Amino acid sequence: MTLRLFNTLTGQLDPLTPADGMALRMYACGPTVYDYGHIGNFRTFLQIDILRRALQLLGTPVRHVMNITDVDDKIIRNAAQAGMPIGDYTQPYIDAFFEDFESLRMERPEQIARATEHIPQMVALVEKLAAEGAAYKAEDGSWYFRLKSFPEYGKLSKKDLSGMEDGARVDVDEYEKDSARDFALWKAAKPGETSWETAIGRGRPGWHIECSAMAMEYLGESFDLHAGGEDLMFPHHENEIAQSEMATHKQFARHWMHVRFLLVDGRKMSKSEGNFYTLRDLLLKGYKASAIRLALVSVPYRHQFNFTFDGLAEATSAVDRLRTFHERLKAGGFAPGESSQMQEAARKAKAEYREALADDLNTAEARAPIFELIRAANTAIDQGECFAADSEAILEVLKDFDAVFDVLEDRDAEPTRRALAWAEKSGRMNEVTPELIAAQSLTDEGIEMLVAERSAAKKTRNFARADQIRNELAEKGVILEDSKDGVRWKRK
């Protein structure tokens, strides 16, 4: 099945297919590692994860390159303030990023590319542009892209810059540019700043050049898809197109995907607004990684997603419902045979689910048939009308669901544990919610012992003691479920 994805460049839904008929070559702008990742960053990366997983589910393998911007103005400034080389400054944030990446169960891109490890490729690109007459060196040794050389500039963001007057907004330190909107390809070294000695002079890369150079390095001069947050559309991606297409005379990326921003309580998230959350903040508040993943992913990527704690609580309930049902199926015990109704329900759910994903990654719509199937199946199971072959068919549908959403298996303990260890190490234990600390005080073995004691109490009809134990466990976030097959427990 072919995925139809909105293409910023054409302004319409275009089929997303590999030009070479092999793997789909995609480049996604990754993080700038000057701080811990916030939920806005992760909403974007998660939606790109949904894309790559959906592609694979629908039969298209991917070759996904993600960059790490480990040199830029902010990094240089912060590292200088901390009095350390930029590599030492960025490394902890890079490690933290991948830890968070894993906590949210994002699949590793096939290639991770760090800007500082691709300086030669960038230099070569600048030289190529210079040869084309599209780049020039300013008096201070910086290199700029000559915007006038690329008439198509603005085709991605639909901006008409022809009316822009030169000199309208010239930064004081950029007076050497020929034209105000020319952007830096290479910045001349300033005293004390990180720089590289290269054929085009001593300096460091401009912001946009890294993505062009690395995308071409790993995907070729022309590739299938380029993705990123909506803010990157202009000027970042526009500049990438200009410098890449001037250098190669080929179309850079055929398809452009932009993920809309996340809001918090209806406002743009920002540190000054006091509504800024990192993934770690949420984990320390006791929310599970799977619920955060589901919440950030359930509103389709082209819509603003308004993050609220109510919404996160809702996602938590949704994850519980999915898992409870999944467990119920896995527990087995179904009579041999099949029912035509359940077979048909499973077939229909699977088809609708896939179709929704193929339709511009409509995750909200994709969820619906899954939950519908769950209700139908629960009813059938209650009435003894769900058989072994039905259970298998439904599990297959859930497998499809989880191939993209990836929340069914409870792997939430590890991210929380890691977040707590980090809080401990970095002196942030005061940010940890007391309930979480209480929950951590119980080991699985401890829970099992209390559960056993309660079962014994119940046998002797000592319900007072049994309820006491249940309440005690509840206070520490452990929920019990009695059933005729025994007691099940789970952490909230």
Partner RNA sequence: GGCGCGGUACCCAAGUGGUAAGGGAGAGGUCUGCAAAACCUUUAUGCGCCGGUUCGAUCCCGGCCCGCGCCUCCA
Closest listed residue to residue 415, CA positions, set 286, 283, 293: 283
**363-382 vs 388-404: helix axis angle to the nearest 10?**
160
Among 3, 29, 211, 361, indicate the residue that binds RNA (CB under 7 A): 29
Question: Residue written as tokens 């085709």?
Answer: 155
Q: Is 352 annotated as a binding residue?
A: no
Binding mask 120-159 for RNA (x = CB under 7 A): --------------------------------------xx
Let me know the angle formed at the C-alpha of 257 by 256 and 261, rounded to the nearest 5 degrees: 140
Q: Is 29 annotated as a binding residue?
A: yes
* CB of 75 or CB of 432, closer to RNA: 75
Phi, psi for residue 481 in degrees, rounded to 5: -130, 115
Q: Is 211 annotated as a binding residue?
A: yes
* 466 is an interface residue for RNA by CB under 7 A: yes
- The answer to whether the beta carbons of residues 15 and 57 sit under 8 Å apart is no
Minimum distance between the CB of residue 161 and RNA, rounded to whole angstroms? Answer: 9
Part of the chain binding RNA (CB under 7 A), chosen from 111-119, 310-318, 329-337, 435-443: 310-318
* 10 is an interface residue for RNA by CB under 7 A: no
Among 117, 133, 481, 492, indicate the residue that binds RNA (CB under 7 A): 481
- Angstrom distance (rounded) from CA 156 to CA 8: 6
* CB of 23 or CB of 233, closer to RNA: 233
* 367 is an interface residue for RNA by CB under 7 A: yes
Among 27, 93, 97, 207, indicate the residue that binds RNA (CB under 7 A): 207
Among 139, 310, 445, 485, indicate the residue that binds RNA (CB under 7 A): 310
* 480 is an interface residue for RNA by CB under 7 A: yes
Minimum distance between the CB of residue 402 and RNA, rounded to whole angstroms? Answer: 16
Among 337, 463, 475, 492, indicate the residue that binds RNA (CB under 7 A): 463
Among 6, 26, 27, 44, indicate the residue that binds RNA (CB under 7 A): 44
Closest listed residue to residue 189, CA positions, set 197, 177, 181: 197
Three-state SS annotation for 69-92 = ECCCHHHHHHHHHHCCCHHHHHHH
Among 14, 107, 127, 231, indicate the residue that binds RNA (CB under 7 A): 231
Q: Is 208 annotated as a binding residue?
A: no
Q: Is 303 annotated as a binding residue?
A: no
Minimum distance between the CB of residue 291 and RNA, rounded to whole angstroms? Answer: 11
- The answer to whether the beta carbons of residues 195 and 155 sit under 8 Å apart is no
* 378 is an interface residue for RNA by CB under 7 A: yes
Strands 3-7 and 183-188: unpaired
Query: What's the Cα-to-Cα distance from 466 to each of 16, 20, 220, 488, 491, rounded to whole Å?
Result: 58, 65, 66, 15, 18
* CB of 196 or CB of 305, closer to RNA: 305
Which of the residues 249 through 268 are near RNA (CB under 7 A)?
259-263, 266-268
Part of the chain binding RNA (CB under 7 A), chosen from 93-101, 336-344, 368-376, 394-402: 368-376
Let me know the angle formed at the C-alpha of 13 by 10 and 18, rounded to the nearest 5 degrees: 85
- Angstrom distance (rounded) from CA 8 to CA 439: 46
- The answer to whether the beta carbons of residues 350 and 397 sit under 8 Å apart is yes
Which of the residues 157 through 196 are near RNA (CB under 7 A)?
158-159
* 311 is an interface residue for RNA by CB under 7 A: yes
- Angstrom distance (rounded) from CA 317 to CA 323: 10
* CB of 203 or CB of 235, closer to RNA: 235
Among 1, 313, 331, 421, indicate the residue that binds RNA (CB under 7 A): 313
Minimum distance between the CB of residue 249 and RNA, rounded to whole angstroms? Answer: 27
* CB of 248 or CB of 362, closer to RNA: 362
Among 200, 318, 329, 357, indicate the residue that binds RNA (CB under 7 A): 318
Query: What's the Cα-to-Cα distance from 349 to each of 303, 342, 388, 394, rounded to whole Å?
Result: 24, 10, 18, 9
Annotated binding site for Zn(2+): 29, 211, 236, 240
> Would you list which residues are annotated within the binding site?
29, 211, 236, 240, 271
